Structure 1
Amino acid sequence: MLEVALVEDEAPARARLRRLLAAHADLRIVGEAEDVAGALTLLRATRPALVFLDVQLGRDDAFALLRRLPEPQPLIVFATAYHEHALRAFEVAAVDYLLKPFDGERLARALARIRARLTEA
């Protein structure tokens, strides 16, 4: 079972991602957060293997969160409406970058890549 956390400041986007992830029986959502402070608390407490992370998190951004996360960091999939952050996302070792709005098929491809990466590890 792959434990997943959702970090997204917009409730409708979190709900949509939650619905799309529900189609994958091998995933378990361990929690959700809408800002950096909540995400730090959640991620330190649950230590998920995978985090779906929006770039913009209220007044802060995902990169501020990543700088504060303890090692080992979880796998990160950016799920955002901002294409201009893609290069920076991969510089911090994101495993994928989903540009909103994405569909279930695109999410499935990202998850297949993640499963393959975890199998190799």
Structure 2
Amino acid sequence: MQVTVLYSKKFLNDIATLSDDELKLIGDFAVSLKSSGFDGLPGRNKPSTGVSKRHAQREKLIQYAIQNRLWHYHIGHVEYDKNRSFGDWTSEYVVQYQNNNFKEARFVSYDPHPPFKLPPPESLD
């Protein structure tokens, strides 16, 4: 199923500083979503509700992720860790996005992981 890809203002501003390699990886992710949806992605793709049980604001952050439909995808930069099976590869950087019923993905942030931090509210505008 094809997915519509949108971008927040902050995401568009932030990608201006990225390398050509990073832009290609993000572009490949967007093209893949538009043509094949979430099927066949090499990287780990998951909801951003997996907040550490030790985090003092765990419940608040989980609710924030749920309310804003936040997910993240391991984009493959600098490279994928391929010790897991295809589709569950991880990388140092992730694209954080809002997942609207698997029909629309709105890219809101591009960040290193770890540490994993949810995008601030201004990234969602």
Q: Under a length normalisation based on structure 2, what TM-score does the superposition of the two structures give?
A: 0.28
Q: Under a length normalisation based on structure 1, what TM-score does the superposition of the two structures give?
A: 0.29
Larger radius of gyration between Structure 1 and Structure 2: 2
